[in-house]
Chains A and B, each alone.
Chain A
Amino acid sequence: MRQPDVGAAGGTRALTAVFAAVALSFLGALVVWPLVSVFQRSLTGVGVERITEILGRGSVRRVVWFTLWQALASAGITLVIGLPIAHVLARYRFAGRDLIRALAVVPFVLPTVVVAAALSATFDRLRLDLDQTVAAILAAHVFFNVAIVIRVVGGFWGSLDQRPTEAARVLGASPFEAFRTATLPRLAPVIAGAGVLVFLFSFTSFGVILILGGPRRATIETEIYRNAIFRQEFDVAAVLALLQLVVVSLLSFLVARFQRRQARHARGRTRAIAKPVRGPMQRLHVLAIAGLALAVIGVPVAALVEASLRVGGGYGVDHYRNLFEPISLLPVTAGRALLTSLYFAIGAAAVATVVGVMAAFAIVRTGRLGHLIETAALIPLGVSAVTLGFGYLLAFTVLDLRRSPWIIPVAHAVVGLPFVLAAVVPALRAIDPRLRQAAAVLGASPIDVLRLVDWPLIRTASLTGAGFAFAISLGEFGATSFLARGDSAFTAPLAIFRLLSQPGDVLRGRALALSVVIGGIVALVAAMLERRRTDGAVLL
Chain B
Amino acid sequence: MTAEPAEHEGRETELLLQGVTVSYGEKVALSAVNLDVAAEAVVAVIGPSGCGKSTMLRAIAGLEPLTEGEIELGGRSLRGVPTHQRDLGLMFQEHALFPHRSVAGNVAFGLERKGRTESEIRERVGEVLELVGMDGFGSRSIEALSGGEAQRVALARALAPTPRLLMLDEPLGSLDRVLRQQLTGDLREVFARTGVTAIHVTHDQSEAFALADHVVILRAGRIEQQGSPADLWRHPTSRFVAEFLGHPNVWEVDGRHVLTPVTALQPDPNGSIVVRVDRVEFQEGRFRITGAEALLVSERVVVFDSDTAPAVGDHLRLALDKSQVYPLAD
A-to-B contact residues, CB < 8 Å: 1-2, 4-11, 270-271, 432, 434-435, 437-446, 448, 452-453, 456-457, 537-540
- B62 and A438 within 8 A (CB): no
Please name the 5 residue pairs, one residue from A and one from B, whose CB atoms are nearest each other, closest first. Answer: A7-B62, A8-B83, A443-B113, A442-B110, A434-B96
In whole angstroms, how far apart are the Cα atoms of A441 and B61 in the complex? 7
What is the chain B residue whose CB lies nearest that of A442? B110
B90's contact among A270, A437, A537, by CB below 8 Å, is which?
A: A437
| A-B CB contact pairs (8 Å), 15 listed | A1-B68, A5-B62, A5-B79, A6-B80, A7-B82, A10-B82, A270-B143, A432-B96, A434-B96, A437-B96, A438-B96, A440-B82, A444-B84, A445-B82, A446-B82
- A453 and B82 within 8 A (CB): no
- B113 and A448 within 8 A (CB): yes
Residues of A within 8 Å of B317, CB to CB, are none
- A5 and B83 within 8 A (CB): no
Closest chain B CB from A208 CB (angstroms) = 41
- A442 and B161 within 8 A (CB): yes
Closest chain B CB from A127 CB (angstroms) = 52
What is the chain B residue whose CB lies nearest that of A9? B65
In whole angstroms, how far apart are the Cα atoms of A538 and B97 in the complex? 13
Within 8 A of A (CB), among B105-137: 109-110, 113-114
Q: A7-B81, A8-B62, A538-B101 are in contact. List 8 more A-B contacts (CB 8 A).
A: A5-B65, A7-B63, A437-B63, A439-B109, A443-B114, A445-B84, A453-B98, A540-B99
Residue B67 CB within 8 A of the other chain = yes
B-to-A contact residues, CB < 8 Å: 58, 61-69, 71, 78-90, 92, 94, 96-102, 109-110, 113-114, 141-143, 157-158, 161, 167
- A440 and B63 within 8 A (CB): yes
Residues of A within 8 Å of B84, CB to CB, are 8, 440-446, 448
- B65 and A538 within 8 A (CB): no
Of B78, B87, B96, B141, most A-chain CB atoms within 10 Å: B96
What is the chain A residue whose CB lies nearest that of B107? A442
Residues of B within 8 Å of A1, CB to CB, are 67-68
Residues of B within 8 Å of A444, CB to CB, are 84, 109, 113
In whole angstroms, how far apart are the Cα atoms of A297 and B105 in the complex? 42
Closest chain A CB from B200 CB (angstroms) = 15
Q: A437-B61, A441-B89 are in contact. Are A7 and B68 (CB under 8 A)?
A: no
- B90 and A457 within 8 A (CB): no
Residues of B within 8 Å of A5, CB to CB, are 62, 65-66, 71, 78-80
- A443 and B63 within 8 A (CB): no
- A441 and B83 within 8 A (CB): yes
- A443 and B110 within 8 A (CB): yes
In whole angstroms, how far apart are the Cα atoms of A33 and B298 in the complex? 76
- B96 and A435 within 8 A (CB): yes
- B83 and A440 within 8 A (CB): yes
In whole angstroms, how far apart are the Cα atoms of A6 and B66 in the complex? 7
- A456 and B83 within 8 A (CB): no
What is the chain B residue whose CB lies nearest that of A439? B109
Closest chain B CB from A421 CB (angstroms) = 22
- B65 and A7 within 8 A (CB): yes
Closest chain B CB from A312 CB (angstroms) = 56
Of B58, B94, B96, B99, most A-chain CB atoms within 10 Å: B99
Of B84, B94, B143, B157, most A-chain CB atoms within 10 Å: B84
Q: A439-B109, A452-B109 are in contact. Are A538 and B102 (CB under 8 A)?
A: yes
In whole angstroms, how far apart are the Cα atoms of A443 and B108 in the complex? 12
- A442 and B157 within 8 A (CB): yes
Closest chain A CB from B72 CB (angstroms) = 12
In whole angstroms, how far apart are the Cα atoms of A435 and B68 in the complex? 27
In whole angstroms, how far apart are the Cα atoms of A24 and B203 in the complex? 45
- B102 and A442 within 8 A (CB): no
- B63 and A9 within 8 A (CB): yes
Residues of A within 8 Å of B65, CB to CB, are 4-7, 9
Residues of A within 8 Å of B167, CB to CB, are 441
Residues of A within 8 Å of B87, CB to CB, are 443
Residues of B within 8 Å of A440, CB to CB, are 61-63, 82-84
Residues of B within 8 Å of A9, CB to CB, are 62-63, 65
In whole angstroms, how far apart are the Cα atoms of A448 and B112 in the complex? 11
- A538 and B141 within 8 A (CB): yes
Closest chain B CB from A537 CB (angstroms) = 8
- B109 and A8 within 8 A (CB): no
B63's contact among A8, A452, A537, by CB below 8 Å, is which?
A: A8
Residues of A within 8 Å of B68, CB to CB, are 1-2
Residues of A within 8 Å of B157, CB to CB, are 438, 442
In whole angstroms, how far apart are the Cα atoms of A435 and B110 in the complex? 13
Residues of A within 8 Å of B69, CB to CB, are 2
- B92 and A438 within 8 A (CB): yes
Closest chain A CB from B63 CB (angstroms) = 5
Closest chain A CB from B189 CB (angstroms) = 23
- B99 and A441 within 8 A (CB): no
Residues of A within 8 Å of B62, CB to CB, are 5, 7-9, 440
In whole angstroms, how far apart are the Cα atoms of A8 and B65 in the complex? 9
Closest chain A CB from B289 CB (angstroms) = 41
What is the chain B residue whose CB lies nearest that of A453? B98
Closest chain B CB from A442 CB (angstroms) = 4
B83's contact among A7, A270, A435, by CB below 8 Å, is which?
A: A7
Residues of A within 8 Å of B98, CB to CB, are 435, 438-439, 453, 456
Closest chain A CB from B165 CB (angstroms) = 10
In whole angstroms, how far apart are the Cα atoms of A237 and B102 in the complex? 58
Residues of A within 8 Å of B67, CB to CB, are 1, 4
- B143 and A271 within 8 A (CB): yes
What is the chain A residue whose CB lies nearest that of B58? A437
Residues of B within 8 Å of A457, CB to CB, are 99-100
Residues of B within 8 Å of A448, CB to CB, are 84, 113
In whole angstroms, how far apart are the Cα atoms of A9 and B67 in the complex? 14
Closest chain A CB from B58 CB (angstroms) = 8
In whole angstroms, how far apart are the Cα atoms of A434 and B113 in the complex? 18
Of B78, B97, B109, most A-chain CB atoms within 10 Å: B109
Closest chain B CB from A417 CB (angstroms) = 25
Residues of A within 8 Å of B96, CB to CB, are 432, 434-435, 437-438
In whole angstroms, how far apart are the Cα atoms of A435 and B158 in the complex? 13
Residues of A within 8 Å of B158, CB to CB, are 441-442
